[in-house]
Structure 1
Amino acid sequence: MNTSFNYFIPTNIIFGAGRIKELATVALPGTKALIVISSGTSMTRFGYLDTVVKALKAQKVETVIFSKILANPIVDHVMEGAQMARENGCDFIVGLGGGSSIDSAKSIAVMVHNPGTYWDYIGGGTGKGKPVTEKVLPLIAIPTTAGTGTEADPWTVITNLETKEKIGFGVAGTFPVIAIVDPEMMLSVPAHLTAYQGMDAFFHAAEGYLANVHQPASDLFALDSVKLITKHLPTAVKDGSNMEARTALAWASTQSGMVESTSSCISQHSMEHALSAFDPSVTHGAGLIMLSVSYFSFMAKKVPERFPALAEAMGVDVSKLPESERPMAFISALKQLIKDINCDGLDLNDYKLDKSQAGALADNAMTAMGFLFTLDPYQMNKDEVVGIFESAFDA
């Protein structure tokens, strides 16, 4: 157990079915909001945007809508959203939708008052690593998916299309001040996205449990998230209207965000960011799934100590197994879960990616998001990273 750690999660989390209505009564951090949503139609089609606008109007809050966010959000839209907020005098931001919208809202909140371009503040890759010196606008996060947990952490992931870099960033000010997590707003997510998003939360938890900065609280959060997702994700994929499953997954996602706040993701996320930086059509959760068996099989062989507990959280009675087989029990359970959510047919070779790119992907992962490699329980070299990519292409 790590016995020296920080614990800081300042977000007021309002959790539960139907609790979006409390946006009309909770104390708000301003009087004019920029609402950040995706370029898709789901926020309007299912009435979520209208619900939020009406709730804010009940508190005499004016709203401006920024609706350009992509599934893999980009720097250009961060800068455009920040300009819109400045021009309209917005004093807080609302991120409504999936992780891409909320992440973009965080990054926009940084850039409303800070000078230069967003990439000036990014610490990895070609970023300049400048400190954030001016005010970050307060943020309200309203997730409509169960996956990223970004409502309970400070992290935001944005892609620089010019440099093909997808890099995480965060400061204390990018923690949402309020998160309203209402599983009723997640009922409309289609089955395949439910699967991808649920597995993103699963890997946040698993990686956070393995990270060399794990701590007592993150361990508890991580193992419970793994347990909840293993139990409820197959149900939600088969029956998206199942409120018990949706509620469990909503909490597991938020709780996995708390894992990211108290521990960290590790290099699996760096490697997936390389995949979706090279081909933005790779959905983040799908990319993680396609890497996962190769990645965790490698780690389980190198540092087996913490894998049995992950297997137990997935429902495996490891006490009945020889000690030498207990770490790989997690891999068997992971394969079964991927099959149970109908994702065993995913194949990296179906994207604009090729095994011959493994070296370039490894370079990108170890440069753009190299910091996460320092948090791995085993310190990989480039050849080992290349090997994991190649194995994932061969799977």
Structure 2
Amino acid sequence: MDLLTNISHTASMFDINNIYNTRELKRFYLPTKILIGQNARNILFEILPQQSKGVSLLIVVDHYFKQDNFIKNILDYKFASLVCKVVVEREPDYSFINKQIKSLPKKVDYIIAVGGGSTIDTAKAILAHKKYGTSRQIGYGSNRFIKELPVKQAPVFIALPTTAGSGSEVSRYYLIFDEKSKKKIVNRSWSVCPSFTILDPYFLNKASVKLLIYGSFDAFVHLWETYICRYERSAINDMFALEGITIILSIIPSLFVKTKLSVDQLLKLQYCAMLGGIALSNTRTGIIHDAGEALSAQTSLSHPETLFIFFENAIRQYYGKIRGKESLLISRLNSISKCADIATVKDIILLWKKLFKQHGLEEQIRNKTKMNKINIRDIVDQIMSDKVLINKESPVKLNRDKVVNLVKRSLQDYT
């Protein structure tokens, strides 16, 4: 099918959720309006209706912020006739999601998520159920072409992230753990993206150095893996990746020596996490994420911790195939004085490893990994099931033997 025929075909049955980047055709989409700045959180009350008491609000909040004054102000919002609160204490599973959905009123006008990736993913699952009648496997399998229900008006979704890493605040993806299969179920739809995302460093003021490092690393891997894709990549995504990676690496020296970053640095990390979320929604992640998600289903390791286990060996596996990408990135980095000493991608790997080691994070990951009996075959099977990665997007050709070797080498370093 040539390009003109392909465009004509997609126009006749157009759904942005089912259009993908190819070598011939590129698409970029972002339905979210983004507001960023110090005290930007207060704009929420300008977005919400200023009159009429018939408004129903649902607040989905991370347990750490459930008593925050900002949350109290939302609960006391004078134009709301009904305010419900869902507190998220851990990564969501379908039992938790279904319980919350059953307890909610039929009419919800606004969903406000204040929290990290798990909190925002919970809100997305609730929104998906409102729009599709289900929150399971949206965008995949039998639900790949699922249509929205004929509802009169879907809830307006507003996200205020309290971490800087997941990118969930602008991403079309959400993950929910399935207790039966013991796997995280990936869902995707542009329809679950927030209508508004508000980035305010207020929510990072009390974040520990550990949390900031993990968030920065998560955003870095999102940007890195979208940058080295083969066919799904685009010039716009490359621009985002180069911008975000450069900013993150320029802040790393401060994470070595500081216990608290400046407001400007916190804003920059939020900005980079946002770029990562946009990039992965318009491209895709790679083998580091596939392996990390498979491992996290078997352990108590956090998402950034599982990514860290695999990222060095994954990059070394395809290093010889990305020299052109490396050259462009290093040239960009060397224009920044704080990154002038970085000469190769291997220097970037070493920089992250030094940072994790200095703060004791590498040893923590090793200790947590040792507590679990890891099923290597399950991890390999999950990676091999990603046919797009295996057959098309990986910089190096993959087969089962190569994947087994990667997983074994990575886990040997931490078990």
Pick one of 327, 333, 349 that aligns with 1:308: 327
The Cα shift of 1:345 comes to 2.9
Deviations 1:224-274 (A, max 9, x none): 111111122453573235212211111111111121233221221111110
Q: Secondary structure at the match of 2:35?
A: strand
* Alignment partners' CA distance in 2, 1:144 and 1:18: 13
Deviations 1:354-376 (A, max 9, x none): 46x22221113333x55555532
Amino acid at match of 2:313: S
* Alignment partners' CA distance in 1, 2:192 and 2:103: 19
Instruction: Please identify, of 129-138 and 94-103, the stretch whose mean Cα deviation from structure 2 is larger.
Output: 129-138
* Superposition pairs of residues 234-253 of structure 1, within 5 angstroms: 234-236=253-255, 238-253=258-273
Amino acid at match of 2:251: H
* Alignment partners' CA distance in 1, 2:400 and 2:114: 38
Q: Secondary structure at the match of 1:83?
A: helix
Alignment of 1:282 onto 2:301: yes
Q: TM-score, normalised by structure 2?
A: 0.81
Relative to structure 1, is the Cα distance of residues 47 and 25 closer, same or farther in structure 2, using a 3 angstrom cutoff? Answer: same
Alignment of 1:118 onto 2:140: no
Contact 1:291–1:392 (Cα < 8 Å) also in 2: yes
Structure 1: which 5+ residue stretches go unaligned?
none
Q: Where does residue 9 of structure 2 map in the other structure?
A: none
Q: Where does residue 72 of structure 2 map in the other structure?
A: 50
Q: Secondary structure at the match of 1:34?
A: strand
What's the Cα RMSD here? Answer: 2.9
* Alignment partners' CA distance in 2, 1:261 and 1:169: 12
Contact 1:36–1:65 (Cα < 8 Å) also in 2: yes
Pick one of 222, 237, 242 that aligns with 1:218: 237
* Superposition pairs of residues 256-271 of structure 1, within 5 angstroms: 256-271=276-291
* Alignment partners' CA distance in 2, 1:58 and 1:3: 52
Pick one of 96, 101, 111 that aligns with 1:77: 96
Q: Where does residue 133 of structure 1 map in the other structure?
A: 148
* Superposition pairs of residues 132-281 of structure 1, within 5 angstroms: 132-134=147-149, 137-212=155-230, 213-236=232-255, 238-279=258-299, 281=300
Q: Secondary structure at the match of 1:25?
A: helix
Q: Secondary structure at the match of 2:58?
A: strand
* Superposition pairs of residues 94-113 of structure 1, within 5 angstroms: 94-113=112-131
Contact 1:276–1:282 (Cα < 8 Å) also in 2: yes
* Alignment partners' CA distance in 1, 2:78 and 2:311: 46
* Alignment partners' CA distance in 2, 1:62 and 1:335: 49
Relative to structure 1, is the Cα distance of residues 364 and 354 closer, same or farther in structure 2, using a 3 angstrom cutoff? Answer: same
Q: Secondary structure at the match of 1:7?
A: coil
The Cα shift of 1:132 comes to 4.1
Q: Secondary structure at the match of 1:286?
A: helix
* Alignment partners' CA distance in 2, 1:199 and 1:252: 11
Instruction: Please identify, of 211-220 and 72-81, the stretch whose mean Cα deviation from structure 2 is larger.
Output: 72-81
* Alignment partners' CA distance in 1, 2:45 and 2:318: 47
* Superposition pairs of residues 54-69 of structure 1, within 5 angstroms: 54=76, 57-60=77-80, 62-69=82-89
Contact 2:138–2:188 (Cα < 8 Å) also in 1: no
Relative to structure 1, is the Cα distance of residues 358 and 310 closer, same or farther in structure 2, using a 3 angstrom cutoff? Answer: farther
The Cα shift of 1:332 comes to 3.5
Q: Where does residue 37 of structure 1 map in the other structure?
A: 61
What percent of counterpart residues are identical? 21
Q: Which has the larger radius of gyration?
A: 2
Contact 1:293–1:334 (Cα < 8 Å) also in 2: no
Contact 1:13–1:180 (Cα < 8 Å) also in 2: yes
Contact 2:380–2:400 (Cα < 8 Å) also in 1: yes
Amino acid at match of 2:56: K
Q: TM-score, normalised by structure 1?
A: 0.85
The Cα shift of 1:105 comes to 0.6
* Superposition pairs of residues 353-372 of structure 1, within 5 angstroms: 353-354=372-373, 357-367=375-385, 371-372=388-389
Q: Secondary structure at the match of 1:89?
A: coil
Contact 1:276–1:284 (Cα < 8 Å) also in 2: yes
How many residues align? The count is 378
The Cα shift of 1:185 comes to 1.3
Q: Secondary structure at the match of 2:207?
A: coil
The Cα shift of 1:150 comes to 1.3
Contact 1:110–1:137 (Cα < 8 Å) also in 2: no
Q: Secondary structure at the match of 1:37?
A: strand
The Cα shift of 1:34 comes to 1.4
Amino acid at match of 1:151: E
* Alignment partners' CA distance in 1, 2:331 and 2:311: 18
Q: Secondary structure at the match of 2:72?
A: helix
Q: Secondary structure at the match of 1:118?
A: coil
Structure 2: which 5+ residue stretches go unaligned?
1-21
Contact 2:132–2:146 (Cα < 8 Å) also in 1: no
* Alignment partners' CA distance in 2, 1:128 and 1:256: 26
Q: Secondary structure at the match of 2:327?
A: helix
